[in-house]
Amino acid sequence: MAVARVRFLDRTEEDFVHGKSLHWLEKIGVMVKSPKVLAMLERAGARVDRDKGIARIPEPMVREAVQKAPKKIVLGARDPKNEKVIPVETWPLMTTTGLAVYTFDIDTGERRPTTSKDLANFSRVADAMDAVDIVWTTVTASDVPQDALALHSLWTTLRNCTKHIHVIPTPKSAEEAKALVDLGAIVAGGHDQLRKKPLFSVISCPIAPLGFERASIEGQVEYSKAGIPVVCMSMSLSGMSAPVTTCGTIVNINTENLASLVISQVAAPGAPFVYSSESAPIDMTTGVMDYSSHNLPMIASGASQMAKRYGLPSQTGNWGIETKVPGMQASFTELVTTFLASMSGSDMVAGAGSCDAAKGAALEQVVIDSYLWEDCRKYMRAFEMSDEAAATEVVQAVGHGNTFLRHMHTARNFKKEIIFRDQERKMWQATLSSDMVPEAKAIAKKVLAEHRVPDLDPGVVKRGDALVEAHTRTLKD
């Protein structure tokens, strides 16, 4: 099958990135702010400087981790029909944005902090959108204890969607990570069932350059032991937390992912692991991550190619119109940047609903980004390249200088071969425009009024509520 993809590195350049990452891991090492994880790595063969918290990882440890990591991951869901498998064969799975701290109220348009109710509403709208495959814990619930944010976010999202969930708040401790696993097991029907088809995965971000924070990495160890997929999202910012060069940024991304992979595989051989990056240059005038940078699709493509080199599922692209307020305030070339990043070969892309460089989110923007993705992902459908598709016999039958229009082969195949634009949704795609916002807002409101997510069994709800309450209580004692 032929699928459109963007490539940036040739094989020699991939070899260079791989070799340089091995050099960095062995000579520079990674900072791990967890004595427990450092000791684990030392027992496995790393050279550890306990005073500086540095682990230097030799090439054999990397090679063994790559060999042990699964090359296919099942992403479970409350509704089995929403289960997904990565890597994908055609277009990437799309996710919502994650952890926004404000929203634009769907009724008043007022910008305000986000709450648990907002998280429930975003989860329900994402559940209803055909283009959304995976639901991130989209917004930050400001009305729950922040030391237990990850647990509260997972519980709210589990109850309000039937799709696979990405949990993005970092656990505050290994104990909270264990509580998330136990909560997932209650819904899945047991720890074994959760391991076979995990209902959620977790975003685990290194601290660029080449660092791992204690709670996050100790939580990652617990998730790996439980069979929960870990998405190692390197956020290497060119010129700030990574070298300003595109080359140096890609090497940093690759080195952080390989180090994280080693930690997961040492903790639990065969643990599901996703190579990931949400990296870009910073805007040198503001210091803010520049999601619209021309460099972004090249960085995404390079990271995706390295993931494919190791046979690892990946989330290296992004999707979602970079906008300050709902609508499409992006220029043509900014939209090209976003689209090229989604064509990088990534198995998942993130960002639907995002506003203001992911600091905000809007329900109507989820609708806009979902509808645009339904159209754009058609560029990445699979086209058969075979003797049958070449249609040699048809060419012979039609003959020189004649038309294929009247031949039955055309009538039988044109609908599956030729991509037709949705003429109504095409009108939503005007750049520097907010004309589509009222219609998108009406769709979001209709979803909130009509889309029903089946609640969990009352017994499961009771046990889940008790677990969340018990863990939150421990933080007060």
Q: Among 322-331, 446-455, 460-469, which stretch is predicted with the lowest mean pLDDT?
A: 322-331
Spell out the domain ranges in the chain: 67-380, 387-417
Q: How far apart are CA 227 and CA 271, in angstroms?
A: 6
Number of other CB atoms surrounding residue 102 within 10 Å? 20
pTM recorded for the entire structure: 0.94
Assess whether pLDDT exceeds 80 at residue 423.
no
Residues 325-344 have pLDDT tens digits of 999 988 888 889 999 999 99
**CA distances (Å), 102 to each of 31, 121, 166, 182, 455, in order?**
33, 14, 19, 29, 26
**pLDDT greater than 80 at residue 425:** no
Task: Give the start-end residues of each E strand in 33-128.
Answer: 47-49, 54-56, 73-75, 84-86, 93-96, 102-104, 111-113
Higher pLDDT, 313 or 424: 313
Task: Give pLDDT, residue 477.
Answer: 66
Q: Is the pLDDT of residue 346 over 70?
A: yes
Query: Beta-strand (E) ranges in 137-252?
Result: 164-167, 200-204, 211-212, 230-234, 237-238
**96 SS3 class:** strand
What average pLDDT does this structure show over 71-93? 97
Dmax over CA atoms of the chain, in Å, equals: 85
Average pLDDT over residues 410-436: 84
Q: In the predicted model, what is the mean pLDDT of residues 93-110?
A: 96
- CA–CA dist 211, 30 (Å, integer): 6
Instruction: Specify the fold of 67-380.
Output: TIM Barrel (3.20.20)
Query: Where residue 427 falls among pLDDT bands split at 50, 70, 90?
Result: confident
Q: Using CA atoms, how far apart are residues 272 and 228, in angstroms rounded to an integer?
A: 7
Cβ pair 23, 204 in contact under 8 A: no
Q: What is the pLDDT of residues 73-83, one digit of tens each?
A: 999 999 999 99
